Amino acid sequence: MQEKLQALQTEALEHVEQAKTLADLQNVRVSYLGKKGPITEVLRGMGKLSPEERPVIGELANKVREAITEALDTKKQNLEEAALNEQLKSETIDVTLPGRPVQVGGSHLLTDIVTEIEDLFIGMGFEVREGPEVETDYYNFEALNLPKDHPARDMQDSFYITEELLLRTHTSPVQARTMGEYKGNKPVKMICPGKVYRRDTDDATHSHQFTQVEGLYVDKDVRMSDLKGVLNQFAKQFFGEEREIRLRPSFFPFTEPSVEMDISCKVCHGEGCSVCKKTGWIEILGGGMVHPDVLEMAGYDPEVYSGFAFGMGPERIAMLKYGVDDIRHFYTNDVRFLKQYHQV
C-alpha cells in the first residue's frame, strides 16, 4: 500500500510537470485528487486496514495529497504568469494616440439665471423656499384675494385638474403658504423660484409653462420705499450699475398699491429706441404692498404687520440680458442655443 502511494505521487508529479496548459493541469487535478481519483479511493478504503496500519497509511495518503496539491498550485501560477507575459508581449499600447473627447454637459441658462437671482437675494437676507406646482384653488387664488367669481382670475388662464386643484399659475401661492407656516407672529423674508403654468398659446413671447421668482417681505413697518430699495439694488447688481429703475402704478388683487417695475433700456439709456419700443424703459416685474386682506387671511394682523411682494419671470429677464428673441428656445433644447450660454 505504501509503495502504491509513493508510486502515485511520483506519477502525479510527472504529469503535473508535463502539463502545458491550465486545462491540462485541471485534468491532472481531477484525475488524481478528484472524488473518483486513487487517493480518495485509498482514504475510503481505510476502514478495511488493521488498526496498526491505519494511522501510517492515513498520514502518508495525506502527505501525498498535499505534495500533489502543492505541485499543482505552483505549476498553475507558473502557467498563468507565462500566459500573462505572452499577452503583454503581443499587446502594445500606443501612448501617442489622441484621447477621445468627452462631451461634458452644463447647467441650463435658466438654471444659471435663477441661481444668480437667488444669490443676490440671499445676500440681502432672503431665504429661498419652494412650493407645490399642483396647487389648490385656495392658495393659488382665494388666499390671494381672488374669490371664486373674481373677474381678475381671467388674467391667468389656468389648467384645472379638478374643481379644487390646478397647476399653479404663479408662484404667489407660496406667499400665503409661507405666512401660514410662520403663524402670524414673526417676520417673513423669502424668495421662491419655480415653474408656473398658464393656458396660453405658445409663441415668441408666450409659453404655457415658464419660471417665476416670487419675493415676500413681511415685518413691522415695511414700506413701499423698502420695496423700491430692494428692487433697485437687485436691478443694479443683476443688470449693471448704470441702469435705473422706475415704478409705475398697476393692479394685482393681492397687492395694494400695486406697481410694475421698469428698467432703463441698455441700448439707448432712456432715449427711446426699437428695443424699448421708443419708451426708454423695459418692463421687468410686478409687485406691490401685500394687501391687508391677504395678510389677514394668512394670520397676520394688518394693523401690526405690513409687507411687500414681487414676482419676476427669469425667461423674460434672461431674454433681456442676453438678447434671446424667442422664449421657446428655453424649452426646445437645441444644444446650439444652450451652448452659447455655457462656456464648458
The residues binding ligand PHE (CB under 6 A) are: 170, 172, 214, 252, 255, 286-288, 309-311
Tell the smallest beta-carbon distance from residue 289 to ligand PHE (Å).
9
Q: Which residue do the cell numbers 508510486 mark?
A: 7
Q: Which spans in 91-130 are helix H?
A: 109-123
Q: Which spans in 129-171 are helix H?
A: 137-140
Q: Which is nearer to ligand PHE, 8 or 231 (CB)?
A: 231
Would strands 209-219 and 134-136 be described as parallel, antiparallel, or unpaired? unpaired
The CA–CA distances, whole Å, from 83 to 26, 70, 183 equal 16, 20, 76
Tell the smallest beta-carbon distance from residue 151 to ligand PHE (Å).
15
One-letter amino acid identity for 178?
T
Nearest residue to ligand PHE by CB is: 311
Q: Which is nearer to ligand PHE, 32 or 305 (CB)?
A: 305
Of 146, 128, 129, which is closest to residue 137 (Cα–Cα)? 146
Q: Which residue do the cell numbers 401661492 mark?
A: 173
Those residues whose C-beta lies under 8 Å from the C-beta of residue 167, and which sit 6 or more positions away, are 133, 134, 135, 158, 159, 161, 196, 197
Tell the smallest beta-carbon distance from residue 96 to ligand PHE (Å).
60
Tell the smallest beta-carbon distance from residue 249 to ligand PHE (Å).
13
Tell the smallest beta-carbon distance from residue 185 to ligand PHE (Å).
23
Tell the smallest beta-carbon distance from residue 172 to ligand PHE (Å).
4
Q: Which is nearer to ligand PHE, 158 or 255 (CB)?
A: 255
- Cα separation, 330 vs 314, in Å, equals 11
- Cα separation, 272 vs 270, in Å, equals 6
- Cα separation, 5 vs 24, in Å, equals 22
Q: Are 285 and 310 spatial neighbours (Cβ–Cβ below 8 Å)? A: yes
Q: Which is nearer to ligand PHE, 237 or 250 (CB)?
A: 250
Of 199, 210, 189, which is closest to residue 133 (Cα–Cα)? 210
Tell the smallest beta-carbon distance from residue 255 to ligand PHE (Å).
5
The CA–CA distances, whole Å, from 51 to 4, 25, 61 equal 19, 36, 16
Q: Which is nearer to ligand PHE, 19 or 260 (CB)?
A: 260
Tell the smallest beta-carbon distance from residue 302 to ligand PHE (Å).
16
Phi, psi of 205 (to 5 degrees): -120, 0
Tell the smallest beta-carbon distance from residue 111 to ligand PHE (Å).
21
Q: Which is nearer to ligand PHE, 38 or 311 (CB)?
A: 311
Q: Which is nearer to ligand PHE, 280 or 287 (CB)?
A: 287
- Cα separation, 68 vs 61, in Å, equals 11
- Cα separation, 142 vs 164, in Å, equals 11
- Cα separation, 270 vs 122, in Å, equals 30
Q: Which is nearer to ligand PHE, 152 or 267 (CB)?
A: 152
Q: Which is nearer to ligand PHE, 286 or 314 (CB)?
A: 286
